[in-house]
Amino acid sequence: MKYYSTNGKAPVADLRKAVVKGLAEDRGLYMPEVINKLPQQFFTDMPKMKFQDIAFNVASAFFGDDVDLDSLQDLVYDTLQFPCPVVKVKESIYSLELFHGPTLAFKDVGARFMARLLQYFLRRGSSVCGDGSVCGDGSVCGDGSVCGDGSVCGCGTATKSKSVNVLVATSGDTGSAVANGFLGIDGIHVYVLYPKGKVSPIQECQFTTLGKNITAIEVDGVFDDCQALVKSAFMDKELNEHMMLTSANSINVARFLPQAFYYFNAVAQLIALGHQPSDIVICVPSGNFGNICAALFGHQMGMPVKRFIAANNANDIFFNYLQTGQYNPKPSKQTLANAMDVGDPSNFARIINLYSENGKLSPEETHKRITSLISGATYSDEQIRETMRQCYKETGYILDPHGACGYRALEEQLKPGEIGVFCETAHPAKFKEKVDDILGIDVAIPERLAAFMKGQKQSVPMTKAFADFKAYLLKQ
Ligand SMILES: *Cc1c(COP(=O)(O)O)cnc(C)c1O
């Protein structure tokens, strides 16, 4: 499979390069050239299949050309060591619980898959040049020299070490999922950049207490500053010659595509419960739009659902796009659902690219296609609180602030006969102080979360100036 850039000004890449580089040279996002439809037989069998087998079928369609199928199967099985169940909350509304992984949020799925895929490429002895082109046989490129397998080094510069450095900006949950997904993986070092004072104490301890190959960088700024530092680092020639850098943000194809696994599985579970696929509405609480983007790719592969809802907190950029056709990024606003505090969703470019057929359709036509499939919602912190209280009172189900946006959007927008499933993107205990306060309860902390809180915090303080971050990395 080849991957092209949404900006259309970078050469196409193979999977290896797309995973290692994260972002294309022209700052665009990688898109697979083909989205393979799954065969009808798969959809017939799906309701009786195990989660891992459903996921393996989906993974084969994306990655089967580039990873041998035995390894891919191991990779998928090893990633999915926990369930993603669909749980009934009330009549017609189900919760897709994506918090049963190690860090209790959906990002565990993508992060674990990406860590294992990167390790697969490293183990196969492939070295990667500064521009992301790869010697097939594992020899390191010199200046314009020919690799051992006959392919020519594309960049003309050697990377100094064979270890890979993952840079990841986080507003909370990405950092913990990536840090834990990569923890202890040989040859990979992870730098987690997070906004000082803007992630919850429980989130913070999940990436600042790990040690080993994980370094937490505490940036004096907001999430968008962290994201800007990471993006600048990838574009900096000197830095890329000094060390091999890669991203693990939701822009990385190895992180966002695997999220399609659990949507197929959710639809399979709903069909097994007797629901019609043509009634199913999937609602995704969204920030950078990686999660919903994976669902939309699933839909392109033939996943049978009726429509989608993207639920936002007060950061309403996508909501406004749906209403007006205009995309106006804004600085992010801090809200109760802080993992969705994004003012310029990075995967918006993928959604536009997908529905404009890589720019073939006009903005108006693209907007029309998008709004016929996806509707939006935006909620204030007060509405989130109200929804959490009302759902708890009515059903006993404890929503976290992100899931609450999804639940409310279904309550408001489901039509008669439709079956809604919203992503419960994180365990409520990850936001314990807020949830306890809002609901007046004492949410139990799962054992695997409590374990993180016993560790010692270690972090590197950083300003939001790129020069400072670069100077720090050049010393590593
Ligand atoms: C990351 C995250 C989101 C937003 O997901 P995107 O893929 O960025 O849209 C929502 N909820 C939680 C709990 C998250 O961690």
Cβ contact 278:301 at 8 Å:
no
d(CA 169, CA 247): 9
Domain ranges of the chain: 83-104+256-444
Angle at 463 between CA 459 and CA 466, to 5 degrees: 115
- Residue 154 CA to chain centroid, in angstroms? 29
336 within ligand 1 shell (Cβ under 6 A):
no
250 within ligand 1 shell (Cβ under 6 A):
yes
Q: Helix and strand tally (H, E) in the chain? A: 20, 16
Nearest atom in ligand 1 to the alpha carbon of residue 288 is: 8
Q: Return the CA Rg of the chain.
A: 21
Using most ligand atoms within 8 A of CB, pick from 257, 263, 286, 336 the residue to mutate for ligand 1.
286
403 within ligand 1 shell (Cβ under 6 A):
no
Using most ligand atoms within 8 A of CB, pick from 171, 252, 402, 427 the residue to mutate for ligand 1.
402
Helical residues (DSSP H) of 22-168, grouped into ranges:
40-45, 51-63, 69-79, 107-123
Both tokens of 376, joined, read: 């939006």
How many CB atoms are closer than 10 A to CB 468?
15
Per the confidence metrics, is the pTM higher than 0.85?
A: yes
Q: Separation of 96 CA from ligand 1 center, angstroms?
A: 14
170 within ligand 1 shell (Cβ under 6 A):
no
83-104+256-444: CATH architecture: 3-Layer(aba) Sandwich (3.40)
| DSSP string of 183-201, one letter each residue | TT-TTEEEEEEEETT-S-H
Both tokens of 109, joined, read: 């799925």
93 within ligand 1 shell (Cβ under 6 A):
no
Looking at residue 340, the DSSP 8-state letter turns out to be G
The tens-digit pLDDT sequence of the chain (476 residues) is 999 999 999 999 999 989 988 888 898 999 999 999 999 999 999 999 999 999 999 999 999 999 999 999 999 999 999 999 999 999 999 999 999 999 999 999 999 999 999 989 887 754 444 444 555 444 444 434 344 344 445 444 444 346 889 999 987 778 899 999 999 888 899 999 999 999 888 889 999 999 999 999 999 999 889 999 998 998 899 998 899 888 787 789 999 999 999 999 999 999 999 999 999 999 999 999 999 999 999 999 999 999 999 999 999 999 999 999 999 999 999 999 988 999 999 999 999 999 999 999 999 999 999 999 999 999 999 999 999 999 999 999 999 999 999 999 999 999 999 999 999 999 999 999 999 999 999 999 999 889 888 999 999 999 999 999 999 999 99
d(CA 278, CA 295): 15
Nearest atom in ligand 1 to the alpha carbon of residue 256 is: 7
